[in-house]
Every structure is written in C-alpha cells, then in structure tokens.
Amino acid sequence: MTSLASRLAEVDERIAAAARSAGRSPAELTRIVVTKFHPASLVAELHALGVRDVGENRQQELTAKRAELDGLSGLRWHAIGQVQTKKARAVRRAADAVHSVDRVRLVDALERAAESGDAPLDVFAQVNLTDDPGRGGAAPADLEALAEAIVSSPSLRLVGTMAVAPLEEHPAVAFERLAAHAARVRSIAPDAAAISAGMSHDFAEAVAAGATHLRIGTAITGQRPSRD
C-alpha cells in the first residue's frame, strides 16, 4: 500500500471505531478529504483509492482543480472556507456543497448566482464557536435568521450546521455547543440534520457529538505544502 492508502485506511478505521463507541453506524458518516494546497494529482490518487468527497477552502483553487479533474466520475467538491460575496458565483459553479455559509449577504449572493436549470445547491449554516468574528461563522444569535434566509432561497437547500472547534477549548465542550446550535437550525428546517464538524485532531470528539460530515486533511494527506 502507498502511504496515502495506508493513512486513508487508518483514518477510516479510527472513524469506524469512534462511531461504534458512540453507538452510531459508520455508514451515517461522510468522510471528506481536505485537499487544499495539494496538487490536483493528489485528488486523482485519492479518487483511485475510492475517495469521492473532497474539500477545498479557496475558490480559485477549487475552480482550477475541478476543471483539471473534470474527467473523474462521481467526485463531489465541498467548499469549506470563508467565501467572499463577490466569489459567490464562482463558488456556486464549482462546488457541490458549501459548508461555510455564514451571513445573509452571502445567502443572497449565492441565490442570485443560480442559473435556470441549476439543481439546488446544498449548503450548511456555519456557526462561530469563538468570540472572534474573524474566525468565520455566524454569531450564535444570528443563526436562526441565517437559517431562515437559506430556507427562503429556492435555489439553496439547507442540509445542516457547520463549525470549526476553537483552538483554545477542548473540542468535546465546543461540539456540545454545536449540537445545541444544530438543534436550533433543525427547529427551522427539520430536514437540515447534517452536522459538519471534526478535523484531523478532533474527529472522534465530533463523531461522539453527532457529526455527520468530517473534514479531514493532514491525517490523510500528510503535511500540506506551505502556501504564502
């Protein structure tokens, strides 16, 4: 096995173990491999290993890799980074799901970017679990308004809630708060049952707290090439 294949297999085993110890089925979980900063060739290698869900945090990189790998069947591209409003159209064209929808202005921009014949775009409402507005995510007090704006946008489909655990807090504590925020979102959109949470260092805690979509980079890809 290549080292990429063995890291992927090892992470998948750890995900399955975390699911079992939380009394959940691994089949409920979508493992997204975060490939940001890596070349498109790594995504192609992952695809050959059976990976179908990949995550990118920058629009230009997402757009370029998607175009380069157009021939690979069944790949789903997840936009997971902060989206500038002026990039909404390009993100809509390149992403199958956007995890980082965190303000009504972005909801409106994504809605305006829909073209006739577009399938509804899957989006997550991102909530900020820190007190730092720069980290991305809606302030918890703004979450209902955000969810309502998504629900009233015909070209968007609210699938769930997303967050990143703060660095300065135990992830289990932060993910408990996230579970409560996700319940608030479900009170507005009962079908929006997904929870996007968990990265290389905290996916087991995220699974224990109910995450359905794990965004895992370095534990699978190895260290990212540095970028500016």
Ligand X SMILES: *Cc1c(COP(=O)(O)O)cnc(C)c1O
Minimum CB separation from ligand X for residue 25, in Å? 23
* Cβ atoms within 10 Å of 43's Cβ, excluding its own: 23
Nearer to ligand X, 171 or 217 (CB): 217
Nearer to ligand X, 12 or 148 (CB): 12
User: Which residue has its beta carbon closest to ligand X?
Assistant: 217
Minimum CB separation from ligand X for residue 7, in Å? 12
Give the per-residue SS3 of the chain: CCHHHHHHHHHHHHHHHHHHHCCCCHHHCEEEEECCCCCHHHHHHHHHCCCCEEEECCHHHHHHHHHHCCCCCCCEEEECCCCCHHHHHHHHHHCCEEEEECCHHHHHHHHHCCCCCCCCEEEEEEECCCCCHHHCCECHHHHHHHHHHHHCCCCEEEEEEECCCCCCCCHHHHHHHHHHHHHHHHHHCCCCCEEECCCCCCHHHHHHCCCCEEEECHHHHCCCCCCC
Nearer to ligand X, 198 or 210 (CB): 198
Residue whose tokens read 């929870």: 195
Minimum CB separation from ligand X for residue 220, in Å? 8
Minimum CB separation from ligand X for residue 117, in Å? 30
Nearer to ligand X, 100 or 153 (CB): 100
Nearer to ligand X, 57 or 153 (CB): 57
Which residues are at the interface with ligand X (CB under 6 A)? 34, 36, 57, 80-81, 164, 199-200, 215-219
* Cβ atoms within 10 Å of 36's Cβ, excluding its own: 19
Minimum CB separation from ligand X for residue 29, in Å? 15
Nearer to ligand X, 57 or 59 (CB): 57
Minimum CB separation from ligand X for residue 62, in Å? 12
